[in-house]
Amino acid sequence: MPINRDQVILVDEDDRPTGTADKMTAHRQGLLHRAFSVMLVCRDEGGAVKVLLQKRAAGKYHSAGLWSNSCCSHPIPGENTHAAAVERLQQELGIADPVSLSPMGFCRYRAELDSGLTENELDHVFVGTVPLDLTLRPNLLEVSETMWFDAECLAAALAADPCRFTAWLDRVWSICRKHPLLAR
């Protein structure tokens, strides 16, 4: 039987599975479902910490053209969330070798989006440390652009111009800040 990549895992407030739904149905009806967000980080030649942001492709079903964390998606029923995050990095960003990800916790958020959709997610957050010269081959159906952004400036940028960023990035960033490379 083929794997249906358009299914999401519905969960309760404690992340216990309660069923499954089609991804678009979950977003149209605002059903609580499991998701993951990954932030890749590195140090540049001068020692400054950088985070990899992606600009979502124009064809995305929501939040198109907005800057977001390095990678985000939903595990499918029966799939381990950590393994799904590693695989999705390869699919979205074309990273050849698996990245070691540190689980940082999760955030619960609900946001009304463009095109009448609602994000209602329990979002597992991971951080991966990578080299600055990491080779990226973004899937242009998912990602229109990538940028290494100064970690010290991200919170200020989110506050100054939130309309440039996805609805979940500020919450994801606050959890990522617990990572030893990002903690201040």
Is 179 assigned to a binding site?
no
The active-site residue, picked from 72, 107, 142, 176, is 72
Distance CA 89, CA 51 (A): 14
Amino acid at 102: S
The active-site residue, picked from 71, 121, 142, 176, is 121
3-class DSSP state of 39: strand
Distance CA 79, CA 69 (A): 22
Is 87 assigned to a binding site?
no
The token duo for 61 is 């079903």
Is 33 assigned to a binding site?
yes
Is 27 assigned to a binding site?
yes
Is 121 assigned to a binding site?
yes
Q: Is 107 a catalytic residue?
A: no
- Nearest CA to 36 out of 66, 65, 76 is that of 76
Tell me the CA distances in angstroms from 12 to 34, 97, 139, 160, 168, one per residue in order: 9, 34, 32, 33, 19
Q: Is 142 a catalytic residue?
A: no
Is 82 assigned to a binding site?
no
Q: Identify the H or E element spanning 153.
A: helix 151-160
Q: Which residues are known to be catalytic?
A: 72, 121
Q: Give binding residues as ranges.
A: 27, 33, 74, 92, 119, 121
Q: Give binding residues for Mn(2+) as ranges.
A: 27, 33, 74, 119, 121
Q: Give binding residues for Mg(2+) as ranges.
A: 92
